[in-house]
């Protein structure tokens, strides 16, 4: 290759090394510092990747391809393309924000905690960059294992059960996907190596795209893959692990789960499921959209009934993800574009929401809406931030989510106006529960619990200001995100249609 470094290598190895380093130092302060510094370094690398775009002269900077298991045709092949670039950027942005925002939270065994968090980041980066099915599967599972330990060890009182449910769900889904991968693999063409060895099949993404699959094959393979991705996103009716896990996990892990990890499922749809099984997509797309929209409405109603703030946000997240999934399967230029942008925006917004919840929960020990009242008078700054983030969550104009949801809705409307109408119901309800949350928790007379809440501290202020800045910036000027993902949309639609 001739390069001293490549971006995919840096994005995988930096978090991996940071994670291992955290395990070695064992001391809370230095582990925390390592994690924060490395995550900022990774953010820097990730921003740098934006300037080395798909131009062929940067090809070697953006791709890493080693022979891994020669005799079965599996390579360690990772590379950055536009969707991957956006999601690695989201991952790289999310981690420093999360780490800085929660830096006042005291943690037992902090070294292993931060080590596991950095390992999760390495796994996530790998998922978003993998261009070989086996590499993808490895990273897909590797992102899960550290999260399992994080949530069980540092979570709430029921965390062991909740997290285990999460683990078994995703593990079972992944295994189904593994069978699908194997079946597609066995229908791929031959692959030759430079030294003359020829293997019968190959795991590379390109050979998966060209696999020789009949219509009926594609249909049931679609189901196998879709279950794995649907559990991860999660799409109704595979969502039952999610509210408990979000509720019981430590908040920074919940942020990782809801901000970045759910994007793995959506990304899986875009990178693997839809291009590999275009005929399967054509066969199932209406069913998937109906499931997603059912999920949107259902989750919105459940969120409206919730008294637990964390569960409320969890259900609201199910609704948002459902809408993105529906928009992706509507498969027109506008809707897919909207979903891609929204993947980024949703990650930023929901992390903001969780930070606010974390501040409230850490100071009061309460996560029930009914027990909180009048925080606005004791914590005015926090209230302002929450209101802005909440407005972004319900996609008001001038906030980042508006662009994404607007595009998704108009695309969905073009596809089928009834679908758009029903999904629109979800947005209306989301306004109801979000405003209800603001009103109950922040306004009204201050009660005993809320009385001694201190306002946001400096580190939280910095993070929230950055988040609010991103919300407004993308809300006013979304063009950079659209430019970044435009060709991904085109490539996808060319393959699928």
Task: CB nearer to another protein: give 198 or 494.
Answer: 198
Tokens representing residue 113 in the block: 């905690």
Task: CB nearer to another protein: give 268 or 322.
Answer: 268
In whole angstroms, how close is the CB of 427 to another protein at the nearest point? 36
In whole angstroms, how close is the CB of 275 to another protein at the nearest point? 21
Return the bridge partners of 75, or none. 67
Is 153 among the residues that bind another protein (CB under 8 A)? yes
Give the separation between CA 231 and CA 167, rounded to whole angstroms.
11
Is 68 among the residues that bind another protein (CB under 8 A)? yes
Is 214 among the residues that bind another protein (CB under 8 A)? no
Residue 143 contacts residue 123 (beta carbons within 8 Å): yes
User: Phi/psi at 194 (nearest 5 deg)?
Assistant: -65, -30
Give the separation between CA 142 and CA 116, rounded to whole angstroms.
11
Give the separation between CA 123 and CA 132, rounded to whole angstroms.
15
Task: CB nearer to another protein: give 212 or 445.
Answer: 212
Task: CB nearer to another protein: give 171 or 209.
Answer: 171
Stretch that binds another protein, among 69-77, 309-317, 396-404, 483-491 (CB under 8 A): 69-77
Tokens representing residue 66 in the block: 């080693």
* CA-wise closest residue to 373 among 439, 462, 419, 317: 439
In whole angstroms, how close is the CB of 154 to another protein at the nearest point? 10
Is 28 among the residues that bind another protein (CB under 8 A)? no
Task: CB nearer to another protein: give 143 or 312.
Answer: 143
Is 149 among the residues that bind another protein (CB under 8 A)? yes
Stretch that binds another protein, among 167-175, 239-247, 450-458, 482-490 (CB under 8 A): 167-175
In whole angstroms, how close is the CB of 422 to another protein at the nearest point? 33
Among 145, 206, 279, 462, binds another protein (CB under 8 A): 145
Return the bridge partners of 77, or none. 65
Which residues between 220 and 249 bind another protein (CB under 8 A)?
none
Tokens representing residue 153 in the block: 């060890």
In whole angstroms, how close is the CB of 8 to another protein at the nearest point? 18
Residue 453 contacts residue 378 (beta carbons within 8 Å): yes
- From first CA to last CA, the distance across the chain in angstroms is 35
Task: CB nearer to another protein: give 58 or 164.
Answer: 164
Is 172 among the residues that bind another protein (CB under 8 A)? yes
In whole angstroms, how close is the CB of 169 to another protein at the nearest point? 9
- What DSSP string describes 411-451? HHHHH-HHHHHHHHHHHHHHHHHHHHHHHHHHSSS--HHHH
Task: CB nearer to another protein: give 47 or 69.
Answer: 69
Question: What number of CA atoms fall less than 13 Å from residue 315's CA on the CB side?
Answer: 22
Is 51 among the residues that bind another protein (CB under 8 A)? no
Among 167, 222, 277, 329, binds another protein (CB under 8 A): 167
User: Phi/psi at 67 (nearest 5 deg)?
Assistant: -70, 130
Q: For another protein, what does the binding mask look like between residues 184 and 203, x meaning CB under 8 A?
A: -xx-----------------
Task: CB nearer to another protein: give 72 or 482.
Answer: 72
Give the separation between CA 491 and CA 497, rounded to whole angstroms.
10
Q: Measured between alpha carbons, how far is residue 162 from residues 153, 294, 355 in Å? A: 12, 24, 22
User: Phi/psi at 494 (nearest 5 deg)?
Assistant: -65, -40
* CA-wise closest residue to 349 among 253, 484, 450, 472: 472
Q: Please name the residue that has the structure tokens 């649907």.
A: 230
Stretch that binds another protein, among 11-19, 94-102, 183-191, 406-414 (CB under 8 A): 183-191
Q: Under rule CB under 8 A, how many of the chain's residues touch another protein?
A: 27
- What DSSP string describes 471-495? HHHHHH--HHHHHHHHHHHHHHHHH
- What DSSP string describes 330-368? H-SHHHHHHHHHHHHHHHHHHHHHHHHHHHHHHHH---B
By DSSP bridging, strand 74-79 and strand 191-192 are unpaired
Is 301 among the residues that bind another protein (CB under 8 A)? no
Stretch that binds another protein, among 181-189, 247-255, 417-425, 431-439 (CB under 8 A): 181-189
Stretch that binds another protein, among 30-38, 84-92, 160-168, 355-363 (CB under 8 A): 160-168
In whole angstroms, how close is the CB of 176 to another protein at the nearest point? 7
Among 1, 37, 168, 381, binds another protein (CB under 8 A): 168
Which residues between 100 and 139 bind another protein (CB under 8 A)?
137-138
Residues belonging to the chain: 497
Is 70 among the residues that bind another protein (CB under 8 A)? yes
Is 77 among the residues that bind another protein (CB under 8 A)? no
Which residues between 251 and 290 bind another protein (CB under 8 A)?
none
Give the separation between CA 464 and CA 475, rounded to whole angstroms.
16
Is 25 among the residues that bind another protein (CB under 8 A)? no
- Sites of contact with another protein (CB under 8 A): 68-72, 137-138, 141-142, 145, 149, 152-153, 160, 164, 167-168, 171-172, 175-176, 178-179, 182-183, 185-186
């Amino acid at each position: 290759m001739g390069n001293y470094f490549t971006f995919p290598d840096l994005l995988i190895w930096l978090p991996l090394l940071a994670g291992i380093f955290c395990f070695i130092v064992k001391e809370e302060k230095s582990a925390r510092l390592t994690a924060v510094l490395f995550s900022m370094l990774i953010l820097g690398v990730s921003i740098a990747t934006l300037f080395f775009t798909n131009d062929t002269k940067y090809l070697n900077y953006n791709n890493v391809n080693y022979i891994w298991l020669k005799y079965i045709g599996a390579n360690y092949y990772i590379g950055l393309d536009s969707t991957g670039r956006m999601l690695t950027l989201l991952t790289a942005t999310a981690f420093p924000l999360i780490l800085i925002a929660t830096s006042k939270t005291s943690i037992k065994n902090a070294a292993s905690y931060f080590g596991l968090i950095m390992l999760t980041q390495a796994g996530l980066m790998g998922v978003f960059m993998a261009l070989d099915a086996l590499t993808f599967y490895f990273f897909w599972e590797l992102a899960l294992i550290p999260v399992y330990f994080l949530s069980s060890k540092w979570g709430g009182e029921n965390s062991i059960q909740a997290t285990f449910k999460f683990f078994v769900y995703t593990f079972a889904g992944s295994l189904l996907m593994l069978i699908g991968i194997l079946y597609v693999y066995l229908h791929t063409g031959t692959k030759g190596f430079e030294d003359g060895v020829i293997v019968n099949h190959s795991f590379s993404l390109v050979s998966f795209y060209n696999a020789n699959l009949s219509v009926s094959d594609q249909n049931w393979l679609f189901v196998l893959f879709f279950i794995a991705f649907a559990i991860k996103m999660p799409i109704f009716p595979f969502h039952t692990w999610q509210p408990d896990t979000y509720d019981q996990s430590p908040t920074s892990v919940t942020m990782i789960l809801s901000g970045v990890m759910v994007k793995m499922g959506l990304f899986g749809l875009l990178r693997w499921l839809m291009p590999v099984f275009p005929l399967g997509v054509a066969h199932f797309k209406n069913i998937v959209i109906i499931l997603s929209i059912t999920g949107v409405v259902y989750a919105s109603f459940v969120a409206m009934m919730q008294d637990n703030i964390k569960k409320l946000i969890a259900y609201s997240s199910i609704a948002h993800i459902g809408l993105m999934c529906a928009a992706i399967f509507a498969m027109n230029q506008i809707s897919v574009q909207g979903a891609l942008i929204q993947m980024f925006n949703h990650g930023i917004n929901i992390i903001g929401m969780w930070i606010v919840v974390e501040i409230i929960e850490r100071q009061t020990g309460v996560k029930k809406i009914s027990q909180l009242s009048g925080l606005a008078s004791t914590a005015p700054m926090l209230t302002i931030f929450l209101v802005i983030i909440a407005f972004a969550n319900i996609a008001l104009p001038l906030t980042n989510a508006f662009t994404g949801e607007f595009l998704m809705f108009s695309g969905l409307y073009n596809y089928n106006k009834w679908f758009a109408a029903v999904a629109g119901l979800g947005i209306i309800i989301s306004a109801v529960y979000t405003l209800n949350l603001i009103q109950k928790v922040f306004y009204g007379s201050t009660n005993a619990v809320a009385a001694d809440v201190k306002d946001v501290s400096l580190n939280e202020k910095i993070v929230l200001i950055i988040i609010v800045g991103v919300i407004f910036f993308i809300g006013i000027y979304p063009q950079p995100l659209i430019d970044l993902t435009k060709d991904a949309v085109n490539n996808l639609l060319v393959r699928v249609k």
